[in-house]
């Protein structure tokens, strides 16, 4: 088949050319200014009342030259949480390349009356936060009488090592080949006894008041049984908004598409391409639209789907995050210190393990390969937007001085990114905190105190 030949040729060329390109892109720059004595930082990390009882790692490097500035337990492995999304960004930049738009779906026209289409992992079909109507309008306007949806091989809906009991929360939607509405249902609650507004409307008949015997230990607004698309709404005296993942399936996708397109779609079963099929691609939004949303607000769903999108460029007839991770490790990450244990796109899994100096080296490489204004614009900015909007506030009229990606799981909080010192040096850093029992807010405050002093003294 053409796809098999294409895939083999692409992987062969990748194995030959990518390491050469990588070597050309990571030549160290000129030596930076002298490094001030940072012994005070080691002492602070050891003796801090907030930090001294848990695992802490910190790595600092000059973002322009790669020169190591400081390391504290930076060769130890930590659970990275959502800082994993920086690797997912690197995968997108490397495998999706310089394309000005993402592959939204693939299709084949079979005769004048039949269109066969399938998903690429693109998450933005009628998504509530990164909206694009291109795939919707494409399917709506096609002249063919028969639209056939084909299934491609997919990993399980949940990633390895994810918490099973988070299935009902907005931050853990299911992965799928062709998501719709972000694979979630949005509820706009009103004070009892008024019923909430439900979007998409398809799910309205499946939502109802929670029975008085149903427990609500977490004070949720909405609960869903693990294996069903039924939604129980709890009464509230205030207005609220909640987002709940739904159980995905090819059959449900077709129902939702038919409900919104007002035209029939039929299942084609597993994708089977013919030797003379001419496969075409529908393009959607610029990649930075996805990258920026994924990083600034730490959107797990977009991160997972981005790995599927990358996979579709390696093998257009199947989707495999493991294939992407393997390709990145073999061709793009080999020259970085401390090979990562990397299993998902979002960092939801505790099976991920990185060292601080690995992640800092990755940040240096990103800075070498991506123009600085674009790179910093993708990240959350201190005092600006996203997960850092309430910390690392600018002083005076100089604007943000820290840009980064947070990573938080229960008992773990990390931050990796770039900070601009008073002297003008841009520093790449990774600051990991694992297995603490103090409040996360206290860890955040201590990290901000130390990084602020780094800003003053480097």
* Residue 349 maps to a domain: yes
> Tokens standing for 39?
């012994």
pTM score of the predicted model: 0.90
Q: For residue 84, what are the domain limits? A: 2-98+289-457
Q: How high is the pLDDT of residue 4?
A: 42
17 lies in some domain: yes
Task: Name the nearest CA neighbour of 183 among 248, 270, 108, 240.
Answer: 248
Pair (220, 325) in one structural domain: no
Q: Enumerate the H helices of 1-133 as residue ranges.
A: 2-25, 39-47, 85-95
Q: What is the CATH number of the domain that holds 383?
A: 3.40.710.10
Does some domain include residue 379? yes
R_g over Cα of the chain: 24
The tokens for 170 are 């907005």
Same domain, 209 and 355: no
Segment-wise mean pLDDT, segments of 10 residues, the chain, 458 residues = 43 42 44 77 96 97 96 98 98 90 94 94 91 89 95 96 95 97 95 89 95 79 95 91 96 95 94 92 93 97 97 93 97 96 98 98 98 97 92 87 97 98 96 97 97 94
Same domain assignment for residues 312 and 385: yes
296 and 380 both lie in a single domain: yes
Confidence (pLDDT) at 31:
58
Q: At what angle do helices 300-314 and 321-331 cross, to 10 degrees?
A: 70
Say if 107 falls within a structural domain: no
Total of domains in the chain: 2
Q: Tell me whether residue 148 is in a domain.
A: no
The pLDDT value recorded for residue 27 is 44
Q: What is the dihedral of CA 74, 75, 78, 81, to 10 degrees?
A: 70
Provide the pLDDT for residue 135: 92
- Whether 233 and 310 map to the same domain: the answer is no
Predicted local confidence at residue 19, as pLDDT: 39
In this structure, the answer to whether residues 326 and 238 fall within a common structural domain is no
The reply to whether 362 and 417 lie within a common domain is yes
In three-state secondary structure terms, 418 is: strand
202 and 293 fall within a common domain:
no
- How confident is the model over 145-183, as pLDDT tens digits? 999 999 999 999 999 999 999 999 999 999 999 999 999
| 428 and 376 part of one domain | yes
Domain end position, chosen among 247, 265, 280 = 247
203 shares its domain with 320: no
Question: What is the pLDDT, as a whole number, of residue 395?
Answer: 84
Do both 306 and 383 map to the same domain? yes
């Amino acid at each position: 088949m053409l796809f098999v030949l294409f895939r083999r040729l692409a992987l062969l060329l990748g194995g030959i050319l990518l390491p050469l390109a990588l070597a050309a892109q990571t030549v160290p720059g000129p030596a930076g200014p002298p490094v001030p004595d940072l012994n005070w930082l080691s002492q602070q990390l050891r003796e801090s009342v907030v930090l001294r009882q848990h695992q802490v790692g910190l790595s600092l490097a000059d973002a322009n030259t790669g020169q190591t500035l400081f390391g504290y337990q930076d060769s130890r492995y930590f659970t990275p949480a959502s800082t994993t999304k920086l690797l997912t960004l690197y995968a997108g930049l490397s495998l999706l390349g310089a394309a000005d738009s993402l592959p939204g779906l693939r299709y084949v026209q079979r005769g004048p009356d039949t269109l066969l289409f399938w998903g690429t992992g693109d998450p933005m079909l009628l998504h509530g936060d990164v909206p694009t109507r291109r795939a919707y309008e494409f399917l709506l306007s096609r002249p063919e009488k028969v639209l056939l949806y084909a299934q491609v091989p997919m990993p399980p809906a949940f990633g390895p090592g994810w918490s099973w009991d988070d299935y009902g929360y907005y931050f853990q939607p299911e992965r799928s080949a062709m998501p719709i509405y972000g694979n979630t249902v949005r509820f706009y609650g009103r004070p009892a006894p008024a019923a909430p507004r439900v979007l998409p409307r398809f799910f309205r008949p499946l939502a109802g008041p929670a029975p008085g015997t149903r427990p609500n230990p977490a004070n949720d607004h909405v609960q869903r049984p693990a294996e069903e698309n039924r939604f129980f709404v709890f009464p509230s005296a205030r207005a609220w908004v909640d987002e709940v993942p739904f159980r995905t399936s090819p059959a449900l996708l077709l129902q939702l598409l038919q409900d919104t397109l007002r035209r029939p779609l039929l299942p084609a079963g597993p994708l089977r391409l013919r030797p003379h099929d001419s496969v075409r691609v529908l393009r959607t939004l610029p990649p930075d639209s996805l990258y920026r949303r994924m990083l600034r607000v730490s959107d797990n769903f977009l991160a997972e789907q981005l790995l599927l999108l990358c996979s579709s460029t390696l093998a257009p007839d199947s989707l495999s995050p493991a294939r992407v991770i393997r390709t990145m490790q073999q061709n793009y990450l080999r020259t970085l210190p401390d090979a990562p244990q990397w299993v998902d796109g979002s960092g939801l899994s505790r099976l991920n393990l990185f060292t601080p100096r690995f992640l800092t080296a990755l940040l240096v490489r990103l800075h070498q390969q991506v123009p600085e204004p674009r790179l910093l614009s993708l990240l959350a900015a201190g005092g600006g937007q996203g997960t850092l909007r309430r910390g690392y506030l600018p002083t005076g009229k100089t604007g943000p001085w820290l840009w980064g990606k947070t990573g938080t799981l229960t008992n773990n909080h990390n931050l990796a990114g770039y900070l601009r010192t008073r002297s003008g040096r841009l520093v790449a850093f990774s600051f990991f905190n694992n297995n603490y029992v103090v409040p996360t807010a206290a860890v955040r405050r201590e990290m901000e105190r130390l990084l602020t002093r780094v800003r003053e003294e480097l």
